[in-house]
Amino acid sequence: MGSVVGIRNRKKNKMATQGRNEKCWCGRGKKYKKCCGRFTLDEMMSKLSAYAAANKQKNKLIERSLKFLKACEIDGGDAFLVLVDPVAKNDIIDWTLVGGREVGNHVREALVTRRILAGCLPMFCLVKDKSAEWGWRGEIDATLVGEECRDEFIAFASLEGQVVAATLRGKMAKEDGWVTAIPWEDLSYPGMPLKPRPAGTIRIEVNIAKRTITIVSVPLRASIEIEFTPDHLTGDEVDDALFEARHVIEALRQVDPPKRLVDGDRVEIWRVVPDGEKRLLLSMTMPVTPWLTRNDFDVHGDEIAN
Ligand SMILES: [Zn+2]
């Protein structure tokens, strides 16, 4: 089983295959027709999608969903949280499954946040359980939704749990249930709290002859080259290289994260000499407090001081 996967199911095949007079699979001990079977699929979905759309406390739901997943992992076993979009598109219901110990907290948080902000609901957890027939059991936390739609929630979650399980076991016809791994490179989401990137080395390579500066950010694995004008050149290559590099440092202190300098960054200023060789001029660790004052910066140019 993948750690972050999308599951899609065709809505037409999602109605219960359980006998109406049998005990309901949700475990509440009633006959199916008097329990979860009293709702149609459309009734459950319209109730839940209206609830998800009106939910003003999505942040709370995100937090509680992540806690629920953690709680299901408590015995050191694997667990997967399943989120569903209760609005079917082209008669297809999309699921997202997230979990597994190899999936770090920030990935979980980003994924669950994105899905819930987009209107999905956390439905149930698949919990590894050796004593269960298939090695997994489903767990539903009915308190994740308001009381007004709890019955529909339990009915839908139990029903869908069966479908997801059947899909993962390969017991569903391919065209009715399929699984896709989700590429997960961009972890951002609206309102995401900014996390500082880890400190690293920023190399500033100044080529006076070509009037270019190359900024190499090791932590971001990125580099850019910019050109500068000869306006401030004095003819002393070392001074000029330091001066131009300071412009860059000042800019790096103000750009948007994660390009911005963070505490602990090591900044190196290199001069590229005419034969292409690079010579280290300066290397320093960035302190928390500003270390370049306006006065330091304006040493060479009167016009900047104004
Ligand atoms: Zn039931």
Burial class (CB in 10 A: 0-12, 13-18, 19+), 289: exposed
CB proximity list for 107: less than 8 A, separation 6 or greater:
4, 98, 184, 187
DSSP state, 23? B
Query: How far, in Å, is the centroid of ligand 1 from the Cα of 138?
Result: 14
For the residues of 199-254, what is the DSSP string, one character each? P-EEEEEEETTTTEEEEEETTTTEEEEEE--GGG--S-HHHHHHHHHHHHHHHHTT
Query: How far, in Å, is the centroid of ligand 1 from the Cα of 149?
Result: 14
Query: How far, in Å, is the centroid of ligand 1 from the Cα of 2?
Result: 29
Query: How far, in Å, is the centroid of ligand 1 from the Cα of 203?
Result: 63
Query: How far, in Å, is the centroid of ligand 1 from the Cα of 32?
Result: 6
3-state SS assignment for residue 67: helix
pLDDT digits (tens, 9 = 90+) for 94-141: 888 898 887 888 888 888 988 898 899 999 999 988 888 888 889 999
Query: How far, in Å, is the centroid of ligand 1 from the Cα of 120?
Result: 22
pLDDT digits (tens, 9 = 90+) for 57-98: 999 999 999 999 999 997 778 899 999 999 988 888 988 889
Query: How far, in Å, is the centroid of ligand 1 from the Cα of 132?
Result: 20
Do residues 65 and 112 make contact, with C-beta atoms less than 8 angstroms apart? Answer: yes
Query: How far, in Å, is the centroid of ligand 1 from the Cα of 9?
Result: 21
Q: What are phi and psi of 22, to 5 degrees?
A: -75, 165
The pTM assigned to this predicted structure is 0.62
